[in-house]
Amino acid sequence: MIEPAYFEQADQELEELNRKRDDFMADATPVCLEDTPKLIELGEKLRTEDTSINAYELYRHPEARSKLFAQIAEACFLLIADSSPVPVQPTQAQRIHFCEYLEGQFQNIIKKLIAGTDKQVLESLLEALQLPKEKQAQFVRDVVVSGLLSEE
């Protein structure tokens, strides 16, 4: 693929990702049982600190991360209520605690990504790019969280 076509495709993919995120944020539809498999799968990735999750998007968009974590918690509570012979209604404190747990797991994923980054390659890249000092810190955070320079 030639360079202009590559960048055009990347721009289109970025626009599509932004559109999907905007749609997700605008959607006020409550979580239902049909939504639970995918949400539980994401919750499992967080629980096991799976770095294959798109940590970069979650890191860059904390409002979307917060909404996703609330939906994961809701999906878990829905499954519990659906399988319980006794009506189960979680408290707001339980919902908040669950979301805080998911956020903690996400922060552990970020720490894993940091620890697994090839620092020598990152240094070489910074040197080659010669970014202004004020842009270096954000660049480093973005590259590390993306997992692009993982030693694995």
Q: How confident is the model at residue 152 (pLDDT cuts 50, 70, 90)?
A: confident
Q: What is the mean pLDDT of residues 43-66?
A: 96
Q: pTM of the full predicted structure?
A: 0.88
Structural domain spans, the chain: 31-115, 118-152
Q: What is the mean pLDDT of residues 20-49?
A: 96
Q: What is the mean pLDDT of residues 50-57?
A: 95
92: Cβ contacts below 8 Å, ≥ 6 apart: none
Q: How confident is the model at residue 101 (pLDDT cuts 50, 70, 90)?
A: very high
Question: What's the CA gap between 152 and 145, in Å, rounded?
Answer: 14
Residue 1 reports pLDDT greater than 70: no
Percent of the chain with pLDDT over 90: 88
Question: What's the CA gap between 77 and 102, in Å, rounded?
Answer: 14
